[in-house]
Chains A and B, each alone.
Chain A
Amino acid sequence: MLAGAPDPDPRSAFVARWLLGCAVAAAVGAGLGLVEAARVASGRVIEATLVADAAAHAWVARTDDAAGESALAHLERGHPGVAGVFVVAEGGVDEFGIARGTALTRGKVATADARALLDHAKRVTAEAARSLASGTPMDAETLQARLPGDRLAVAVPLRDAKDRNALVGVAGALMGPTPPSGALPAWWIPVVVGVLAALAAMGRNRWRRALDGAVAVGAGAIWWAWQPALPAAPSSGVAVLGGAMLVPHTAPPAAEPLTVAHVAVAALATALLAGWVATPLARVFDGARKDLVPYLYIGPAMAATTLLIFVPFAVGVGLSFVDRSGNFVGADHYAEVLRSITDANSSTHFGRTLAMTVLWTVVNVTLHVTLGLGLALVLNRPHLRGRALYRLLLIVPWAVPSYITALTWKWLFNTQAGPLNAMLVALGLDRVDWLGTSPWTNFAANLATNVWLGFPFMMVISLGALQSIPAELYEAADMDGGSGWQKFRHITLPLLRPALFPAVILGTIWTFNAFNVIWLVSGGGPDHQTDILITEAYYTFTVLRRTGLAAAYSVLIFLLLLGYTLVTNRLTRATQAVGA
């Protein structure tokens, strides 16, 4: 942090590095473990589905029951991870005219499981009937059933060869408990990489830690390369049978395999974190050992904000890398958002919305400042009668809750009953469909609302700053024969700037995120053309239900705001330095 700060006490430094090391090991271990578990689970589902498809194929193609039986036995032998292959046939009527009902007819399945498999077959058949009736493919999820003892059954429904809307049963595969995967047990990777990362975090200086971090990355990459490959997902659930006899269903989702690149990025990030966080953390421990009191004072507030702001923020950032079924998708969501700049058919419109947001912010803030400053200059005239009353009335818009303002203006712009159109009609003009199909009238409505809402703040700030300018300066200028404009240019403006600059920055951030106005007045319409970034992100989350995409979108908004603040902070400091 500070260049000249003393090195922390070695004991504090050790404790800090040790704690960080444990945290890094736990995070790396848990993260890699979760991803690996997801990969293995998805591989299992895919293998079971492939075997179920093959079993259905064998059963449909059989010449007699004995041939079918031997084909199923052959399948079982070929897949050691599969505990059993089964076919559940709908009974029809036997030669005595008695309904046979549903029966588990083939396969090496223990009788204890027969009940569960029959129940599952019933559910799948019911779902399949529904999907045949509606003409939509079945969800791959509905084909799966979890059985006690960490076992998994996947069943695919079969159609009748003659009446293709009738169902004759299901064929499926029963997977045994998850086996330890391949050459090395799955938990080795997380543990080894975690321990290496922990060691890396405990290095003596930051360069050493970064170097050790890189070694941990390399180790992770090598372990990873040794992992056995898992079966690839079929592009469609009915690929094996060509779709003729199976009820169409979606392919089971494949977990994106964790690639070396992912491990590298994650471990490098943790190594860097460990490298640059250890010393400041050690200073905090040092401080706490010398004097615990300040930490007791900020502790509760820190704990609350960490739990409910920082952690959700981090989780939100994490969610942007994960799809709806919890699979790691890397930067796909970011790519999708950025692709939407050029692709008109995508579900978001980042480029267009960003342009709209910038236009919206610039026009609004310009009008706020012009109006606010102009009114403040008039109000600040000496001997103005009724100044307090004017001020009181002009800040009314600031006092009104913003959602009420927005809804009120929505009413003012109402096409049929709104007073604005009534005014136009009284003047002999046509009604305007303000919130209708034109993006520009919608924008105008939003703009009018937000200008009304925002100018009092700038006015009050300007007025306060104007009143703090000593009158002697103007008197001196008068003596030197300065004109009104010269006084404004050389006295008023320079002295206003320190107060106005932060207000403009604050106002820009508020306008940039003016959710209530856009959401409640135009609703982003027509067709999202007046959406700003924050409303489109909210729409993506609440209406489209694309959590990951919405999270990626929000991260981009945050980065834009952060960049803006950093740049303006520099500028403010520069102007303050000049002014001082």
Chain B
Amino acid sequence: MRAWWPHLLLVPVTALTLYPVLYVVKLAFSGTAGVSSSPSPLPDRFEWSAFGKVVGTADAQGQWLFGHQLWNSLAVSAVTTLAGIALACTAAYAFARFEFPGRRAGLLGFLATQMFPGILTLIPLYVLIQKLGLLDSLWGLVLVYSTTTIPFCTWTLKGYFDTLPKEIEESAIIDGATRLQIFLRIILPLSAPAIAVTALFSFMSAWNEFVLAYTFLSKEAAYTLPVMIRGYVGEKDVQWSLFAASSLLVSVPVMALFYAAEKHLVGGLTAGGVKG
């Protein structure tokens, strides 16, 4: 008793969903000569020249811009993830396992940060980063990105730590383990999957962040990839095929990561919400 009508609904919706994505693929392969404006999302030719142009971009001094920007994005995202996760793990463990005065206030405070409009903290941060002379530097972004991901990562990891049975730790204490040993030798290895997913999330949000990077960075060699892509769609000069090619280059790896972690991501997001 397989019904056929769901497909009548699902096929058009899926086609509509994929249309913009397919169109970007078509644009990316249409070369640098000019883009056709036919509504069909299927590629009419396969030229790699747009990719070549994006990857080969150099500035007036002959610096390899794409290489710089790729390195910027990678470095910022990686350092952000490492720093954010290291701090979030310990905090989440304390919130999950210890009962101490100030715990509730701390948890609620972390939750409240998710409601702060980015622009309000952006203003003083801009002044601070400017005063520190970090406006066109990657350290400014790392500093800001990693702290803004800490509350979210802490909540997600705390949700996971809460599900680990306490009996394991109790028996370890009987065997004479210290609390630091328990944390490093038992809790961390047990929650490796959750930590990996949280790290992926942290990496992706840094990799995809646009507004702060756009505000803080003014030199092309200091750009991260999102700011570079925005540059192809300027007010005066729009290069859609270059935009499409660079978008594919930037989003394909991050989409792969997303699909790898997606199942767990949903669980983490809603677990925080339900318990909050």
B119 touches A534 (CB 8 A): yes
B247 on the interface (CB 8 Å rule)?
A: yes
Residues of the B chain whose Cβ atoms lie less than 8 Å from the Cβ of A422? 37-39
B102 touches A284 (CB 8 A): yes
* Pick from A293, A420, A461, A569: contact of B179, CB under 8 Å: A293
A426 touches B39 (CB 8 A): yes
CA distance A310 to B113 in the complex (A): 8
Residues of the A chain whose Cβ atoms lie less than 8 Å from the Cβ of B259? 392, 399
B208 on the interface (CB 8 Å rule)?
A: yes
Residues of the A chain whose Cβ atoms lie less than 8 Å from the Cβ of B124? 311-312, 315-316, 319
CA distance A523 to B160 in the complex (A): 40
Residues of the B chain whose Cβ atoms lie less than 8 Å from the Cβ of A515? 118, 211
With contacts A284-B102, A300-B87, A515-B211 taken as known, whether A305 is within 8 angstroms of B151 at the C-beta atoms is yes
CA distance A555 to B119 in the complex (A): 10
**Residue on B with the closest CB to A562?**
B115
A574 on the interface (CB 8 Å rule)?
A: no
Residues of the A chain whose Cβ atoms lie less than 8 Å from the Cβ of B100? 284, 287, 291, 294-295
Contact residues of B between 232 and 270, Cβ < 8 Å to A: 233, 240, 243-244, 247, 250-251, 254-255, 258-259, 262, 266, 269-270
Contact residues of A between 238 and 256, Cβ < 8 Å to B: none
Contact residues of A between 19 and 60, Cβ < 8 Å to B: none
Flag B1-23 by CB within 8 Å of A: 1 or 0 each.
11100110110011001101101
CA distance A375 to B14 in the complex (A): 10
CA distance A411 to B233 in the complex (A): 9
With contacts A418-B37, A565-B115 taken as known, whether A298 is within 8 angstroms of B255 at the C-beta atoms is no
A394 on the interface (CB 8 Å rule)?
A: yes
A488 on the interface (CB 8 Å rule)?
A: no
Closest CB pairs A-B (n = 6): A502-B273, A297-B94, A554-B120, A301-B91, A283-B101, A294-B98
B115 touches A403 (CB 8 A): no
**Residue on B with the closest CB to A318?**
B124
What is B's interface to A at a CB cutoff of 8 Å? 1-3, 6-7, 9-10, 13-14, 17-18, 20-21, 23-24, 27, 35, 37-39, 41, 87-88, 90-91, 93-95, 98, 100-106, 109-110, 112-125, 128, 143-144, 146-148, 150-151, 154, 179, 207-208, 210-211, 215, 226, 229-230, 233, 240, 243-244, 247, 250-251, 254-255, 258-259, 262, 266, 269-270, 273-274, 276
B98 touches A402 (CB 8 A): no
Residues of the A chain whose Cβ atoms lie less than 8 Å from the Cβ of B88? 301
A419 on the interface (CB 8 Å rule)?
A: yes
Residues of the B chain whose Cβ atoms lie less than 8 Å from the Cβ of A395? 262
CA distance A410 to B230 in the complex (A): 12
CA distance A541 to B115 in the complex (A): 19
Number of A-B residue pairs, CB cutoff 8 Å, is: 247
Contact residues of A between 462 and 481, Cβ < 8 Å to B: 464
A304 touches B150 (CB 8 A): yes
Q: How many residues of A contact B (CB 8 A)?
A: 97
* Pick from B93, B105, B144, B247: contact of A404, CB under 8 Å: B247
Residues of the B chain whose Cβ atoms lie less than 8 Å from the Cβ of A402? 208
What is A's interface to B at a CB cutoff of 8 Å? 1, 280, 283-284, 286-287, 291, 293-295, 297-298, 300-302, 304-305, 307-313, 315-317, 319, 375, 378-379, 381, 383-386, 390, 392-405, 407-412, 416-420, 422-423, 426, 452, 460-461, 464, 498-499, 502-503, 505-506, 509, 513, 515-516, 519-520, 534, 537-538, 541-542, 547, 550-551, 554-555, 557-558, 561-562, 565, 569
**Residue on A with the closest CB to B110?**
A305
A297 touches B229 (CB 8 A): no
Residues of the A chain whose Cβ atoms lie less than 8 Å from the Cβ of B110? 305
CA distance A189 to B10 in the complex (A): 73
Residues of the A chain whose Cβ atoms lie less than 8 Å from the Cβ of B273? 502-503, 505-506
**Residue on B with the closest CB to A516?**
B210
With contacts A383-B2, A393-B17, A401-B208 taken as known, whether A313 is within 8 angstroms of B119 at the C-beta atoms is no
Max chain B Cβ within 10 angstroms of own Cβ: one of A390, A426, A513 = A390
Residues of the A chain whose Cβ atoms lie less than 8 Å from the Cβ of B118? 513, 515, 534
A-B CB contact pairs (8 Å), 10 listed: A305-B147, A309-B151, A316-B121, A396-B17, A400-B21, A426-B39, A506-B269, A513-B117, A542-B215, A558-B117
**Residue on A with the closest CB to B259?**
A399
Residues of the B chain whose Cβ atoms lie less than 8 Å from the Cβ of A565? 115
* Pick from B94, B95, B211, B251: contact of A516, CB under 8 Å: B211
CA distance A502 to B159 in the complex (A): 15
CA distance A409 to B35 in the complex (A): 16
B150 touches A554 (CB 8 A): no
B255 touches A399 (CB 8 A): yes
Max chain A Cβ within 10 angstroms of own Cβ: one of B2, B259, B266 = B266
Residues of the B chain whose Cβ atoms lie less than 8 Å from the Cβ of A375? 10, 13
**Residue on A with the closest CB to B1?**
A383
B266 touches A419 (CB 8 A): no
Max chain B Cβ within 10 angstroms of own Cβ: one of A300, A317, A520 = A300
Max chain A Cβ within 10 angstroms of own Cβ: one of B95, B98, B100 = B100
Residues of the A chain whose Cβ atoms lie less than 8 Å from the Cβ of B254? 399, 401
CA distance A416 to B276 in the complex (A): 48
B233 touches A410 (CB 8 A): yes
Q: How far is the CB of B25 from chain A (nearest CB, A)?
A: 11
Q: How far is the CB of A465 from chain B (nearest CB, A)?
A: 9
Residues of the A chain whose Cβ atoms lie less than 8 Å from the Cβ of B128? 312
CA distance A505 to B274 in the complex (A): 11
Q: How far is the CB of A434 from chain B (nearest CB, A)?
A: 14
CA distance A423 to B39 in the complex (A): 6
Further 12 A-B residue pairs, CB within 8 A, beyond A298-B91, A393-B17: A284-B101, A383-B2, A394-B17, A404-B251, A409-B20, A410-B233, A422-B38, A513-B117, A516-B210, A520-B230, A537-B119, A555-B120
CA distance A470 to B186 in the complex (A): 35
Max chain A Cβ within 10 angstroms of own Cβ: one of B3, B93, B116, B274 = B116
A404 touches B148 (CB 8 A): no
B251 touches A400 (CB 8 A): yes
With contacts A1-B104, A394-B17, A509-B115 taken as known, whether A547 is within 8 angstroms of B258 at the C-beta atoms is no
CA distance A398 to B274 in the complex (A): 21
